Every structure is written in C-alpha cells, then in structure tokens.
C-alpha cells in the first residue's frame, strides 16, 4: 500500500493509515483536526498517463458522488462530509465505518445464512428507496459497495456513477459503467435504467451473499456481460426460501420484476421468520409480485381535517430498509396536512425503513392485525378517558420550548380536538386519529391503533403547508411505519421527507396508544436546524411527554 505520512488535506484532515486499497484508490483512516473526530478519506487514484478529458471526467464523478451522497440522509447510506481536490486528485471525506464490505466478508469467510442475507437486503432496499424517492438511481449496487458494520448494519456506499432524474448521461463514457456481474441487462444494452435496474443489481448482490458467487459466474468481464444478456441465472443451491425471490428479482425483463414493496415484505419474512400482512409468498415468481414492502410502519381511515390542513386522500399501495430492519408498507396515517400531489412513477413510491438510529436499536414491527389480536387481550369496558381531554395541557409551553426555542405562549387547539405548538421554522402537533375516542374501550383503541399502523403506506410525491411555521407548499414523501422505542402501551412512527430535492427529513410522527386513546404526535422542522435523527428524537420525546401526562391523569382519577 502507498503511504503518505502525516499529510494534511485542506489544513484539516490528517491522513493516518490506509484502511483498504483497490484499483480505483485507497481509503484512509484520517483525523478531522477541526472537529476532533476520526473519518474515512477516499483517495481516488488517477493514473499518471490519464488524458485531460478522462481526468476531468473522474474528477466530475467524484464531485457528483459527494453531492449526491450528501443530499441523501438515511442510516443505510454512507454519509459524505466533504470533498477536496488536492494534488489534482479528488478526496472524499466520509463517516468512518468499522467492519468490512459484503464482498470481503463472503470471500474471507463463507456465504452467509439466508436470514442474515435477508436482513442485509431489507436495509439496502430501504436505502435505495430513499435514493429513488429523491430521484437518484444508484446504478452500481454490488457486494463491494455494501458495507457491513460490526454492529450488524448494512450500508450502501459509492454513488460515483449514480444518475439523477432528468440528468443527461449520454456524454459519459463506458469507463464508469460498474461491475458487469451486477449490472442489469437493460443497462448493459445501453439503456439508462431506473429503480428496477437497482432492484436487479440488489438481487445479484444478495445472490452472491448467499451463494458465494454471482448469478452469472464467468471468468472474464466480457464473458459475464454475454451471460447476463443471453442466459438465465445459475439456479441457487444454498438460498432456500430466498431462491425464488432472487430469481424473480433477476428477471431479464424490467417489467416482470417484482415491486419494491413485494420484495420488502418477502425479505422481512425471511429475516424474521414471521409473515407480514398480505406478504407475497416466496415459493415462486407469482408469489413475489404483489404489493408490500419493508420498513418500520401502516394506512388510514383518515384524520379529520382542519381548514388549513385538509385531509389527504388514501394512498394506494404501489412500488417501493445497515441494521436489523423491519417490515412492510401500506401509506402514512393522515397527518392533517394536505397531500394533494401524487407522484406518477410507481416504482418510486417510497420505502421505508427509517431505522431508529437515535435509540440505538431497531425492533421488528408486525403489521398483521390478526396476529396482533391473537397476542393482545384488552378490556372491552370503557377506558380511563370517558370525557374529552384538553390535549393542549399535555405539553406545557415551558416543556415544548425544549424542542421549539422560539415558541411564544402555549399550544393552540385545533378544530378536531387536537393541539398545535407553532414556532418559527418548526412546530409540534398532537391529533386524535378517528376523533370521538372518548368513552371507548382499550380494546377499541387497540383496533384503531392497528388500523392506523396498517394504513400507513409509503406515498408518492405529495404537498403540504403550515403557514404558522413559515412553511409554504412543500413537496414531500412519506415512509412506511417505523419501529420506535416503546411509548405508552403501543407505538409506531413514520417520517416525511422533502421529496426529489434534498431528500431531507422534515417531519417525524409517533402514533401512540395509552389505555383507550390513540394520538398522533408530530415534530416538524423546516429551517434546516436539525438533522433527521434529531427530528425523529424530537417526535419521540414529545410522544413520551404526551403518554406520561395521560398516565398521570389516569393515576389521579
């Protein structure tokens, strides 16, 4: 390996020692001396005889990778902090991950068991869903670009040849095509490719993880291209129940591949051994092609609207979660904000597994109401809340200001019995899905909770606004239900991202049941002052305040 002792980039990043080296360059352990943290620095190696045009192409690709990765905020996508041009070479500064690539892991050890491969698939599928929701197609999903951390998380890396919706790519050369064994047939034929092309590449990557070889093994790249274009995949021998799903994902015809949500459901089943609601089977191609998906999430009966926040139309399940992920999609509970715009591209109907990185652990969320009813035995008698609760008293202004520093005064009641705490650039809200919950039993509340979870479906592009926090009409995309650290007696969450622009998370919601009440608690930040995990943590904190206040009221009665 090459060595650059004590070299400092941009008067800030001190290179310490190489972590890995390949044909394209070296990844270094480095110290960020400004922030006092360790980072990984990717040195893109340029051959000395490279012609000027090709040199500019590689530099442009590195800058594109940094720009794309920086705008995609997801726990299963590597974070790029900075890009530097030094010694006429690009250097990408990234988060430091401890572990090894999927390719290295399999080659150094052995093929992985089916349940572990399925968990990896759930995480990377969620990352792709976040990228596709932002209009980005990765185009180079392969074992070398899937990193397995020591904590069990799978992270998607290397967006160097990704393309953005509407971007012209005809001027790029074949040097940036990727690895033939993991490139979808339509891309090898010179077509642009789309989200379903990434799905094919993910199928080939998972095939390698469980079989120890690519689906079209060949001795040379040219031979691999020929086999991908003309031959079916090698029948898997170790994949068990994962095999039929992989073969369906590897269908040469893009339109014949399963939907993202169907793949997510099946992977979630295989990862946990538990069926998800409406999950397609994995015993044959026909059994994989329905709707469904992965994530931490549920649909809606519809939350009553206020004048300024019209109720959204019900979402339709369409197409499109490293860590231990979660299950299937079905459309976001009504948030009280209008989602007037629907995105036309079915393949990019968002996924979903925002992993609760804030809480350090992810839990499996089952969205099957039948299974839930079998395990939950609740009273049919009227619960603790027989008369309306003043929701605004659940979060006093002094407490709300911990999340909303600019808040003036107390919460403001909404005309559906909820409450809002608007401040400049951010706000809190608490709503009662289904309204008229007073006097219901815990059992009835549980059924409402299950309905809310199952009706939380990843939505296509939509629009919402909240004038009181200076949020004009904004493009958005909602995730499927996400598992959160326990709140109240039952809880789940979902998130809303700024769609196709920055991919930035702006809203996070936690739906919580306390005795006979179900409430939706939301935290919105549109001024860019908080990142995704902080917004998720804020929603969880507010939901905890609400649950504790309700439990205190129960105890006082």
For the chain, what is the total number of helices (H) and then of strands (E)?
A: 12, 19
Longest dimension (CA), the chain: 81
| DSSP state, residue 482 | B
Neighbours of 51 (CB within 10 A): 9
Q: Which of 33, 34, 10, 195 is nearest to 84 (CA)?
A: 10
CB 516 within 8 A of CB 498: no
Q: How far apart are the first and last CA of the chain?
A: 71
Neighbours of 512 (CB within 10 A): 27
CA 55 to CA 469: how far, in whole Å? 47
- Given 140, 198, 251, 368, the catalytic residue: 140
Neighbours of 425 (CB within 10 A): 17
- Edge-first strand listing for the sheet containing 471-478: 412-413, 419-423, 426-431, 517-525, 505-514, 490-498, 471-478, 462-466
CA 435 to CA 490: how far, in whole Å? 18
Task: Give SS3 for 350.
Answer: coil
Mark whether 49 is an active-site residue: no
CA 387 to CA 348: how far, in whole Å? 44
Helices (H), 325-421: 369-375, 397-400
CB 205 within 8 A of CB 183: no
| DSSP state, residue 235 | P
Per DSSP bridges, beta strands 13-22 and 517-525 are unpaired
Query: What angle in degrees, to the nearest 10, is found between the helix axes of 242-249 and 195-211?
Result: 140
CB 391 within 8 A of CB 334: no
- Catalytic positions: 140
């Amino acid at each position: 390996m090459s060595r650059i002792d004590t070299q400092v980039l941009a008067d800030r990043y001190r290179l310490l020692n190489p972590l890995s080296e390949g044909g394209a360059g070296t990844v270094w352990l480095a110290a960020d001396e400004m922030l006092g943290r360790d980072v990984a620095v990717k040195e893109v190696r340029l051959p000395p005889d490279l012609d000027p045009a090709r040199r500019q192409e590689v530099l442009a690709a590195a800058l594109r990778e940094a720009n794309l990765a920086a705008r995609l905020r997801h726990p299963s996508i590597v974070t790029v902090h900075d890009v530097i041009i030094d010694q006429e070479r690009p250097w990408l500064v990234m988060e430091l991950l401890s572990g090894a690539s999927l390719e290295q892991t399999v080659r150094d050890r052995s093929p992985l068991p089916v349940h572990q491969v399925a968990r990896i698939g759930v995480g990377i599928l969620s990352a792709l869903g976040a990228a596709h929701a932002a209009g980005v197609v990765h185009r180079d999903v392969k074992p070398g670009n899937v990193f397995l951390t020591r904590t069990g998380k799978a992270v998607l890396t290397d967006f160097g040849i990704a393309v953005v919706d509407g971007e012209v790519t005809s001027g790029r050369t074949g040097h940036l095509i990727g690895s033939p064994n993991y490139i979808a047939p339509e891309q090898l034929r010179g077509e642009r490719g789309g989200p379903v092309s990434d799905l094919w590449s993910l199928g080939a990557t998972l095939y390698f993880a469980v079989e120890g070889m690519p689906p079209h093994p060949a001795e040379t790249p040219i031979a691999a291209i020929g086999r991908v274009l003309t031959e079916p995949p090698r029948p898997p021998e170790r994949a068990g129940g994962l095999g039929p799903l992989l073969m369906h994902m590897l269908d040469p015809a893009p339109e014949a591949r399963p939907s993202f949500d169907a793949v997510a459901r099946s992977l979630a089943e295989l990862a946990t051994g538990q069926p998800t609601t409406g999950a397609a089977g994995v015993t044959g191609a026909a059994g994989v092609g329905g709707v469904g998906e992965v994530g931490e999430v549920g649909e809606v009966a519809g939350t009553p609207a206020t004048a300024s926040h019209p109720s959204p139309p019900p979402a339709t399940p369409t197409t499109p979660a490293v860590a231990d992920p979660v299950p299937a999609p079905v459309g976001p509970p009504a948030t009280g904000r209008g989602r007037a715009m629907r995105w036309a591209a079915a393949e990019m109907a968002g996924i979903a597994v925002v992993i609760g990185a804030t809480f350090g652990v992810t839990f499996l969320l089952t969205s099957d109401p039948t299974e839930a009813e079998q395990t939950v035995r609740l009273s049919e008698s009227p619960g603790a809340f027989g008369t309306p609760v003043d929701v605004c008293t659940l979060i006093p202004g002094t407490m709300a200001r911990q999340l909303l520093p600019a808040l003036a005064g107390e919460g403001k009641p909404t005309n559906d019995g909820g409450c809002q705490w608007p401040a400049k650039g951010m706000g809190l809200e608490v709503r009662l899905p289904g309204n008229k919950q007073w006097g219901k039993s815990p059992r009835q509340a549980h059924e409402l909770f299950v309905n809310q979870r199952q009706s939380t479906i990843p939505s296509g592009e939509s629009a919402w606004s909240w004038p009181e926090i200076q949020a004009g009409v904004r493009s958005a995309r909602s995730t499927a239900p996400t598992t959160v650290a326990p709140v109240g007696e039952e809880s789940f969450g979902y998130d809303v991202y700024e769609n196709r622009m920055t991919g930035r998370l702006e809203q996070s919601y936690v739906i919580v049941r306390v005795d006979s009440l179900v409430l939706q608690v939301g935290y919105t930040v549109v001024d860019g002052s908080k990142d995704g995990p902080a917004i998720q943590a804020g929603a969880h904190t507010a939901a905890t305040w609400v649950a504790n206040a309700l439990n205190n009221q129960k105890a006082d009665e």
